[in-house]
Amino acid sequence: SAVISQKPSRDICQRGTSLTIQCQVDSQVTMMFWYRQQPGQSLTLIATANQGSEATYESGFVIDKFPISRPNLTFSTLTVSNMSPEDSSIYLCSAIAGVDEQYFGPGTRLTVT
Amino acid sequence: QKEVEQNSGPLSVPEGAIASLNCTYSDRVSQSFFWYRQYSGKSPELIMSIYSNGDKEDGRFTAQLNKASQYVSLLIRDSQPSDSATYLCAVIRFGNEKLTFGTGTRLTIIP
């Protein structure tokens, strides 16, 4: 398994600002992912964070809005840019360990006012 | 048709009984199947993975996979109040590491 930490755990931000979320894994992993989960909803994949290359974004998510960095095999960041109240959500990072088992960090609860 | 479908519930089961959670998937090339448990306000926790047809047991949990019928289920024996949570079914398509989640089933164990 993998132990994943995220910072911050929660934040309240003003409209138009940006927030960078950090994700740290306790071991080297090849694949990391970023998800969003709205209250009462399932998880929606934002992007795959690739080490050494640009992230791969899912339909409906763009790099200008959600820039992602992956400087090494244990760390990634997701920035939520130019925030609006619609960006209020829980943001989760995950990593694959073992065969293809995916483990999640504790999440970052973002509220945009 | 959704790629991964689950009955949203809520599903109520008496303490000590067997809870049965079901999931169907549409993509026949799905190769890996997972069950996650998510407590309210917490992140998903991986509880079972299954890759081949049949049953896989881990403590009180049994995952069952039937690829011909494209369904995967999770049985929880001797249900405890601490099992009350939302259970998410997720699949990985062959050649793709991305998880596709169902909408989750909310399970309540009644003492």
Q: Which two tokens stand for residue B46?
A: 């991986």
CB neighbour class for A70 (10 Å; exposed up to 12, middle 13-18, buried from 19): buried
Share of chain A above pLDDT 90, in %: 83
β A108-112/A10-13 pair status: parallel
Per DSSP, B2 falls in state -
Over its length of 111 residues, how does chain B's per-residue pLDDT go in tens digits? 678 999 878 999 999 999 999 999 998 888 899 999 999 999 999 999 999 999 999 999 999 999 999 999 999 999 999 999 999 999 998 777 889 999 999 999 999
pLDDT, tens digit, 9 for 90 and up, residues A23-65: 999 999 988 999 999 988 899 999 999 888 889 999 999 999 9
Do residues B48 and B64 touch, judged by C-beta distance below 8 A?
A: no
Which 3 state secondary structure label does DSSP give B82? helix
Q: How many cross-chain Cβ pairs, A to B, lie less than 8 Å apart?
A: 43
CB-CB under 8 Å, A105 with B98: no
**Any CB–CB contact under 8 A between B85 and chain A?**
no
Q: Which two tokens stand for residue A36?
A: 């969003």
